[in-house]
Amino acid sequence: MTADVYEFTAKSLDGKDIELSQYKGDVLLIVNTASQCGFTGQYAGLEQLHKDFAAKGLKVLGFPCNQFGAQEPGGSSEIGAFCQKNYGVDFQMFEKIDVNGKDAHPLYQYLTSNAPGVLGTENIKWNFTKFLVGRDGKVFKRYAPQVEPKDMTKDIEQLLAK
């Protein structure tokens, strides 16, 4: 049984392995993203949270996913270019992954089992589902796709103060 998110590794958009243990002691906001979704505009809010709280220990981690309406069809270079050009994304983006099913990334298997959604369901329902992780590496809260990044500010500030 995995104890916290620091035990996982994921590939960045440029194909490099990133050990999440490098974020030990930080508050993490982990989001499955997509470039052609009704919620894509949330990239701007996520980037704003990154700008506002990075110096205090918040790290935003974006995980593109094409499992919902095929709304992330591009490869890593297209995803990176889109995020930078349209939203000035400066937070860490990773390679496209699955978040549900037998091929779900192990990080997402951990997140969904530790923070089930409505009615206890583990599956991610749509793009821009967000997980807030405390400095201890444990899931603090799961947020539905329609929750705007700015609406998480109070929870983020609470975790950063710990």
Instruction: List the domain boundaries for the chain.
Output: 5-160
Residue 41 falls in which region: left (phi positive, over 0), alpha (psi -120 to 50) or beta? alpha
Cβ atoms of 28 and 59 closer than 8 Å: yes
Q: What is the CATH number of domain 5-160?
A: 3.40.30.10
Q: pTM to 2 decimals?
A: 0.95
pLDDT in tens, the chain (162 residues): 568 999 999 999 999 999 999 999 999 999 999 999 999 999 999 999 999 999 999 999 999 999 999 999 989 999 999 988 999 999 999 999 999 999 999 999 999 998 887 767 788 999 999 999 999 999 999 999 999 999 999 999 999 998
Q: Is there a catalytic annotation at residue 83?
A: no
Residue-level pLDDT at 46: 97
Q: Cα–Cα distance between 38 and 139 in angstroms, integer? A: 26
Q: How many CB atoms lie within 10 A of CB 87?
A: 18
- From 31, 37, 79, 104, the catalytic residue: 37
Q: Which two tokens stand for residue 84?
A: 């930078």
